[in-house]
Structure 1
């Protein structure tokens, strides 16, 4: 596999990102929602900026969204008093299995963190506790645990999650 390139997403990347999302869902069960309309899931309302990783195809994705009442936002505001307008939510990070050995997840995270630092955004996220590889990545990159939550999806379903803040913003 050629070395992955991380860059801003373009409209023509959406089908390839959607295909990668469906692939990740099949191997990892992530996301727990969104695979019925993966193109829509990749571009929800409120996205500030998004990136893809590509080789000969899209192999990963990450986005920063505006705060919209997420548990991680609420927890961080309670702890810090930070204005919601200065908070970005890191979301929709996924990498196909074959690309993971190339640190694609880390490269995507670093792109998002660089953007946040440049635009003076505090990043928060929630991650399902079952996604231990993602949790290890966040902690290795300096993200700090700020609390527990429950990720709601589907028809009233819930799954345990934890919330993190990136303190370097």
Structure 2
């Protein structure tokens, strides 16, 4: 696992297309996977590799007021500085190596170093992701309707990362 470089984008995009084919993530689809992996508000990005192939990915982004998890957390902790963990995925054949956990922990460490609290949302069908976040101590802070496509929606659970050890 390491920080993403520009040269990694092609491999990460190919991995994303494969994840979408197997898991339906992201629910919006992957018409332009490279663009989806480069959000305008990007703060940091990572990839996970196995045998020289990119098999996982995650990003930190600045908080958008329109993001459900950001909105819900700001209602509960209006003065806390936040960032969003997103675009986290691991190829099905690369699961079982704790790469998703390592990607999430890397984001949590960077956020902590920057004095940011992480939030995210995950759609209810992504049970393995929900189990990962809850195992890492993330707390569910609310539920939202994630809208996408032509009037489609799915239930999303919003989470906040645990406070760093020693925080009050």
Give the TM-score of the pair, scaled to structure 2: 0.93
Partner of residue 76, structure 1 = 73
1:159 aligns with 2:141: no
Q: CA deviation at 1:82?
A: 2.5
Whether contact under 8 Å (1:144, 1:164) holds in the other structure is: yes
1:27 aligns with 2:35: no
Deviation string 1:35-92 (CA, Å, 9 cap, x unpaired) is 1100000001001001000122100000010111211111111111224xx2101100
Q: CA deviation at 1:152?
A: 1.4
Q: CA deviation at 1:33?
A: 1.8
Matches within 5 A, 1:51-62: 51-55=46-50, 56-62=52-58
Gaps of 5+ in 1: 1-5
Partner of residue 17, structure 1 = 12
Task: Identify, as 1 or 2, the structure richer in helix.
Answer: 1
Q: How many residues align?
A: 162
Partner of residue 121, structure 2 = 126
Q: CA deviation at 1:151?
A: 1.0
Runs of 4+ deviating beyond 6 Å: none
Whether contact under 8 Å (1:76, 1:82) holds in the other structure is: no
Structure-2 separation of matches of 1:167 and 1:104 = 19
Give the TM-score of the pair, scaled to structure 1: 0.93
Q: Supply the RMSD in Å over aligned alpha carbons.
A: 1.0
Whether contact under 8 Å (1:34, 1:41) holds in the other structure is: no
